[in-house]
Amino acid sequence: MKFFTELCRYFVQITTGILIVCAVNFLLYGFEDMPGSTLWQILLSGFLTALATAIAYSFEPKSTKQFILMTAIHYIVLCIIMIFLGNSFGWLSLNFAGIIMMAISVALVYAFTMLVTYLTSKKDADDLTKALENRKSKH
């Protein structure tokens, strides 16, 4: 059940990040209308990258070195997924510039997801600490 819950959380965060990156790209490149198929492509991209993320983070790293290695491998896997999908969807040209732009887009979504995770986890931890302090002061 925890895997499914995490998959849902990652899906919402990653899909939101992809949507933001797509919106910025549409503004930068002067597209006024977004094809309806792009919404389904964003959802599919969000799901597949969320699935990869949920699988990657279902393993608990035993050291900082393992965490860094796992994060690097995870980022590379996300880039591969998004380059494949981006090419299939016509989001990028399969050349050096297109691949670099997709890697930057993946990094932006990754940073967005990490920030949201940090902020929500910090709030949850602060709320838990406050509840424990209140409970301790009552006893």
Distance CA 33, CA 18 (A): 17
Q: What is the mean pLDDT of the chain?
A: 89
The 10 Å CB-count burial string (b at 16+, else e) for 44-75 is ebbebbbbbbbebbeeeeeeeeeeeeeeeebe
pLDDT of the chain, 139 residues: tens digit per residue: 889 999 999 999 999 999 999 888 888 877 777 788 889 999 999 999 999 999 998 888 889 999 999 999 999 999 999 999 999 999 888 999 999 999 999 999 999 998 998 888 777 677 777 777 777 777 6
Distance CA 34, CA 22 (A): 10
Q: What is the pLDDT of residue 132?
A: 72
Residue 41 has a CB neighbour count (10 Å cut-off) of 19
Q: Is the dihedral of CA 56, 7, 50, 17 positive or negative?
A: negative
**How does pLDDT run across 88-100, given as a tens digit for each residue?**
999 888 999 999 9
Q: What is the pLDDT of residue 138?
A: 73
Q: What is the pLDDT of residue 43?
A: 95
- pTM (two decimals): 0.83
DSSP 8-class letter at 30 = T
